Amino acid sequence: MKVAVITWFSYNNYGTALQVYALTKYLESRGHDVDVIQYYPRNLAVDERKTPIVYELASKSIQKIKNTFDPVIIDKLCDKLFEDFIWSSLKFTNVCESQADLENLNGKYDAFICGSDQIWSQLCFDPHYFLDFVSDKRRTIAYAPSMGVSHYLNETYKKRIASLVNNISYISVRETTGQQLLQSITSRNISYVVDPTLLFDSSDWRKYLCLDDNVIHENYLVAFFLGDNEEYWKTVQHLAIRVHLKVYIIPCHKSDLSRRGVICQNVGPKEFVKIISEAQLVCSDSFHALAFAITFNREVYAFKRFKDSSKENQNSRVMDLFTKLGIDSHININRDNLPERIDYQTVNDILQKDRAKSFEFINDSLEEINHLPKVSTKNNIREKHSLCCGCGACYTVCPTNAISMSLNSDGFYQSFIDDNKCISCGKCVRVCPFADDTESVDIMQGKLYAYKDSPDILRNSSSGGAAYRLAQKLNTDGYAIAGCSFNGNSNEAEHIFITSNDNIKLSKLQGSKYIQSKFWYVIDDIKNQSGPVAIFGTPCQIAASRKLFHSRNDIYYIDIVCHGIPSRLMYLKYTHLLEQNYHLNLQNSISVSFRDKSSGWHNKSIMVTDGNQKYVSTSSKDVFQQMFNSGICYCSSCYECRWRSKSAADVRLGDYWGNRYSKDKTGISMIVSLTSEGNDLIRILRDVSNRQLFVKTQIDDYPKAQQININQRPIFYYDVMCALHKKENNIKEISDRYALPIIRYDRAYVSITSMLRKFANHKDTN
């Protein structure tokens, strides 16, 4: 069978590297063709901020200070040992950056396995490690993932995990604590299995890693600690003297390098196992160091890495293993009253039975999957992908009118397919920006420029006026323009099509629109346009345009930096608030400036007027901006954006945030040229006679000024959507509960992190 495994592998951590190696090695030994999904963990998911900010920041700051003085060792030679081990031992898929990439794996594999390590930990929660991207849930297996902690952090995690786990067909975990946690929230049978590293006995590991070479002819105690408890090191020295053993230390922190007995040569995964395998005594707070000590029947003492009172307490991993093997007396020993030596005859008997049950679980699961009948599905975009950005490309190419565009229940425009009309022609799949991403290039390969237009253009532009000036110049040169406009009558954003030499309408395109646009309104106009066209849109809209018009060479593609589009449900609640509290008459045609610059470019404000009454507020006080900036109610596809660090455009435009122009009052545009056509557009801007600034800068400024990482959907996302659905809920109350705590936390966290960085830099220079 062809099997795909998703687990951690990229951390240069001994346990992480060895567990993925062990699982794939075992599956291959059973004749399966195994690929590890090349998916890298993302930013942590945002949780509801219920802990007092001062307390939470103080706790994290203390840890940052500790890390500043005693950082984890970064060693290039050691890193190379990890990389050589991983990339020579495993086969990988192509890089999967988003859910769309992961969903592209469907149909290529017979079974999908998630596990092991702490991939189900709430402290680093990521739903993709629950196989949420697999379309045929019958083919999903969880092998030995760890929950990490022994309790649910809150009810939201509890509900999310229950929902995700219930969609997996075959479920096992590696700790009895995790087994109990999951059984308390699901009606499923949760099997107990051993960690992948325990699937092999000592002879297997010696064979696979060739450990019999260069035997260490010395009696020693090996110590390896991930935590920083100085008392543990005193215990190690005491034990070494008492049992007459030399101390070998596998270093983890910088302070370990100064300890007597530190191993100076580089220790990769293979060397790690070898050192443990030949030790007379192993002292550690690492689950996998202890697991290998048990596998090789070494005398072992376990130490608790976390305080029992800590909410991040992960001691259950070690305690469960030692309790199950009947050696819990070897946890946090009294150094003056040592426990009896481990009876490895009994331990090995227990371990062998657990191994047999683990073999049975994984082999039987795969055997059942192997006999599943194939499910036939329609060849349309909704069957292939769950994501939709609402661009409407699929809607415009469907030959049977099976696809319609309308708001979904969460307030986002998306495509809907009538299966009775669908003929499985696959045209919708070919134009969907989420189906593949072959047209996009890395932003860091582009050329970066700063641009500032004349004062009269800047007045109505969100930043430096580059977008408007490009549109104006191209329109004068005979190009039709497709761009986003705010429709004050319908209170919506929509794309409009402006024929050549129609500069009057171009003013409608000025300014940012922080709501979803009906892009499909202009697609037929572009198709029917015989002359050249310039398309302005969000990165996903431009990616769709590239696919739609790939055979044409008379189109310029310009995308705008986008952080996400908020739900229309939220926007309508916001406008209702303006009617109720500020007496705006939104039944009339309104005007909205989502980035009003009357109080300065950096002081992001919003202005709404009905022609008589006007509302103006800064982003820190305005509830729409609070909800938008906190990122808690974007479209689902925004949290899986392919184009944070890539683009399918000729040029990308945005604000030149960051330190370089921090004192500017009226706005600077950031322009990234990505293609030869993009260089043509740069030349157009260079020829603008009345501009104030045009300079080439370093592309390294881009990630400093713009978001390039994909943020996860907040844990409480569905709670926010539920709150937005209810008519009785006030938008300010929703913002106060969910958005404001995040904004305040982020501001305080950035300030503290900045101070610590300055402190660390000062320390390094002295």
Question: Do the Cβ atoms of 53 and 719 come closer than 8 Å?
Answer: no
- Residues 500-512, mean pLDDT to the nearest whole number: 86
β-strand 403-407 against 413-417: which pairing, if any? antiparallel
The per-residue pLDDT for 528 is: 95
Chain centre distance of CA 52: 25
Q: What's the pLDDT tens digit per position in 472-489? A: 999 999 999 999 999 999
Half-sphere exposure of 744 (CA within 13 A, CB side): 16
| CATH 1.10.287, applies to 441-565+641-705 | no
- Name the residue among 148, 157, 128 with its Cα closest to residue 47: 157
Whether the pLDDT of residue 761 is over 80: the answer is: no
171-189: pLDDT as tens digits: 999 999 899 999 999 988 8
Mean pLDDT of 239-264: 87
Residue 66 in this model has a pLDDT that exceeds 60:
no
Sorting pLDDT into bands at 50, 70 and 90, what band is 505?
confident
CA distance 102 to 79: 27
Helix (H, G, I), strand (E, B) or coil at 441: strand
Q: Is the pLDDT of residue 10 over 80?
A: yes
Instruction: Give the chain's length.
Output: 766
Helix H or strand E encompassing 397: helix 393-397
Distance, in Å, from the CA atom of 11 to the CA atom of 85, rounded to the nearest integer, reads 12
302 pLDDT more than 60: yes
Mean pLDDT of 528-539: 96
More reliable by pLDDT, 494 or 44? 494
When pLDDT is cut at 50, 70 and 90, the band that residue 306 belongs to is confident
Instruction: Give me the mean pLDDT over the 724-751 stretch.
Output: 89
Phi (first) and psi of residue 420, to 5 degrees: -70, -25
- Which range (113-122, 171-180, 208-217, 351-360) has the least confidence? 208-217
DSSP annotation of 228:
-
| Distance in angstroms (rounded) separating the CA atoms of residues 95 and 101 | 8
pLDDT at residue 630 in the model: 93
Chain region(s) in the chain for CATH 3.30.70.20:
388-431
Q: 3-state SS of the chain: helix, strand, coil percent to 5?
A: 40, 15, 40
Q: Note the pLDDT of residue 71.
A: 62
Q: How far out from the chain centre does Cα 9 lie? A: 15
**What pLDDT digit, counting tens, does each position of 198-226 carry?**
999 999 999 999 987 666 778 999 999 99
Q: What's the rounded Cα separation, in Å, for the pair 78 and 192?
A: 34
Give dist(CA 265, CA 78) in Å, integer.
9
Q: What percent of the chain has pLDDT over 70?
A: 93
pLDDT at 648 over 80: yes
Average pLDDT score over residue span 702-731 = 92
Topology at the third CATH level for domain 203-348: Rossmann fold (3.40.50)
The CATH number that domain 2-199+353-370 falls under is: 3.40.50.2000
Neighbours of 16 (CB within 10 A): 22
b vs e for 481-495, b when ≥16 Cβ sit within 10 Å of the residue's Cβ? bbbbbbebeebbbbb
pLDDT tens digits, 563-606: 999 999 999 999 999 999 999 998 888 999 999 988 889 888 99
pLDDT bucket at 524, cuts 50 / 70 / 90: very high
Query: Residue 487 is encoded by which pair of tokens?
Result: 């429709």
What mean pLDDT, rounded, does the chain reach?
Answer: 91
Residue 499 predicted with pLDDT over 80: yes
- Rounded Cα gap, residues 687 and 420, in angstroms: 55
Evaluate whether 122 touches 312 at the Cβ level (below 8 Å). Answer: no
Q: Within the chain, how many helices (H) and strands (E) appear?
A: 27, 27
Q: Where in the chain is the domain with CATH 3.40.50.2000?
A: 2-199+353-370
3-state secondary structure of 493: strand
The contacts of residue 164 (CB under 8 Å, 6+ apart) are 127, 130, 132
pLDDT score recorded for residue 740: 92
pLDDT of 79-97, one tens digit each?
Answer: 899 999 999 999 999 999 9
Confidence of residue 76 (pLDDT cuts 50, 70, 90): confident
> Is the pLDDT reported for residue 439 higher than 90?
no
CATH placement of domain 388-431: 3.30.70.20
